[in-house]
């Protein structure tokens, strides 16, 4: 084997260089470029989702404290790549005789509510969710919200 390498060192070197160049091309075109494209796509979708969410909040949610009984507590937009959907979480408080708080995670494009929770004087009183197991507890709502908003 050593004798073969000594006699054909130039050919072996050329084969090794071609192998390295070939593997580099395969890596570049099959792994690096698609990942780079997906990252750029995700960034563009996140920016688009943010602007769609802002429009949704302006049109559908009272977001200032000008109203003495309804105001926005918290909001967060996120493009969920697994669902290929623009999601919006928002929490809204209503001050009537008691404090009511509604929390939602919805698809901005379709308006479909994925999960929601309603609280009365900071105690949960009614909840809905997309799970087949039935209504969500508040802790489950928060878990589901984090899962949807971080995918």
Q: How far apart are CA 129 and CA 123, in angstroms?
A: 17
- Who contacts 25 (Cβ-Cβ below 8 Å, separation ≥6)? none
With a cut of 50, which residues of the chain have pLDDT below it? 126, 129-132
Supply the pLDDT for residue 48.
Answer: 92
**Tokens 């489950």 found at:** 140
- Are 149 and 78 within 8 A, CB to CB? yes
User: What pTM was estimated for this model as a whole?
Assistant: 0.61
Per-residue pLDDT, 118: 77
Q: What integer pLDDT is reported at residue 19 of this predicted model?
A: 93
Per-residue pLDDT at 126: 47
Q: Is the dihedral of CA 76, 77, 79, 85 positive or negative?
A: positive
Give the model confidence (pLDDT) of 8-29 as tens digits. Answer: 878 888 889 999 999 988 888 8
């Amino acid at each position: 084997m050593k004798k073969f390498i000594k006699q054909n060192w130039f050919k072996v070197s050329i084969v090794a260089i071609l192998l390295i160049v070939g593997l580099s091309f395969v890596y570049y075109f099959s792994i690096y470029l698609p990942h780079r494209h997906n990252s750029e796509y995700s960034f563009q979708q996140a920016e688009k989702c943010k602007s769609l969410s802002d429009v949704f909040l302006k049109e559908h949610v009272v977001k200032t404290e000008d109203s003495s009984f309804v105001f926005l507590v918290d909001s967060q937009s996120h493009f969920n790549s697994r669902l290929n959907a623009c999601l919006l979480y928002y929490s809204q408080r209503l001050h009537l005789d008691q404090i009511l708080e509604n929390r939602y995670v919805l698809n901005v494009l379709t308006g479909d509510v994925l999960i929601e929770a309603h609280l009365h004087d900071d105690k949960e009183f009614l909840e809905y969710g997309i799970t087949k197991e039935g209504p969500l507890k508040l802790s489950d709502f928060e878990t589901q919200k984090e899962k949807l908003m971080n995918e």
